[in-house]
Structure 1
Amino acid sequence: MSVSVRTFFTELDGPGARQFPPMVSGTLRFDIHDGDQVEHWLVTMAGGHARGEQSDADADCVIVIDRVLIERIVNGEERMFPAFFRFAATIEKDFALIPAFEWLLPDTVGARHPRQLASGWKAAR
């Protein structure tokens, strides 16, 4: 099932939400470009929990990204770091918050835990 960008951000603090290390705190703003339109989402992280809201307030970290790419990321079809490495998205200010935000993203589609992979190799011997 495809998750919309709005659903992803508004349900960050909903039931069953993922958590991240409690010592991380800060704000990230996503400037999502869709043609001539720009949508702003502010993610506040504190105490192991995150909350998303539509806002263009100042943030500790600003991520400028295309709508198609952020949709792929929130659906587990793409990871954030490779997008930065190929300059498909840009980061302004505090880069250190990105790894904590990745804890909130869904697992990559088709990904397996390394132990599952290793057990498959052992069985093949």
Structure 2
Amino acid sequence: MTEATERFFESLPARAPEVLVSPVSGTMQIDLAQGGQTVHWLVRLRPGEIEVSRDRGPADAIWYTSADLFDRLVTGRAQAISSVLRNESSFSGDVVLFLLFHRFFPDPPGTRDPRTVARRQAGRLP
């Protein structure tokens, strides 16, 4: 497990109030495979709050991916939804939790919001 992944999970509780604004709640287990071992993270999502532990337990959803891919996700070098669609990772259970959780991942480096670009071109922003 990389330091970037550890820091990502540590940062979630502080970032939850701005990301988890919908009324969705549930528990997601994230299984990260590396070599012959699997590291488990249990994430409990509630409006404005998130709890993270290294436990396994009953979960509304399970996301299984490699530790390497997850490291690329937390650094913005890969996209979560694309990884599932390309079968680089697998997900089962409540898909709304996955869609909510993926909002914690950063945008790829150099990404610009198209609305900001359009406003600049229209002369409304410097």
**Amino acid aligned to 1:49:** E
* CA deviation after TM superposition for structure 1 residue 120, in Å: 5.6
Judge which range, 101-110 or 88-97, deviates more.
101-110
| Structure-1 separation of matches of 2:114 and 2:15 | 28
Structure 1: 5+ residue stretches without partners = none
What is the aligned-residue identity percentage?
26
Contact 2:17 2:47 in 1 (8 A): no
Equivalent position of 1:105 in the other structure: 105
Structure 2: 5+ residue stretches without partners = none
* CA deviation after TM superposition for structure 1 residue 57, in Å: 1.1
Q: Structure 1: which 4+ aligned runs deviate by more than 6 Å?
A: none
Contact 1:25 1:45 in 2 (8 A): yes
* CA deviation after TM superposition for structure 1 residue 15, in Å: 6.6
Contact 2:16 2:50 in 1 (8 A): no
| Structure 1 residues 43-94: Cα deviation after superposition (integer angstroms, max 9, x where no partner) | 1100222221111112111000001100011111111000001000001111
Please, what is the CA RMSD of the aligned residues?
2.2
Equivalent position of 1:73 in the other structure: 73
| Structure-1 separation of matches of 2:48 and 2:55 | 21
Hey, which of these two has a bigger chunk of helix by percent?
2
Judge which range, 68-77 or 15-24, deviates more.
15-24
Equivalent position of 1:48 in the other structure: 48
The two structures have a TM-score, normalised by structure 2, of: 0.84
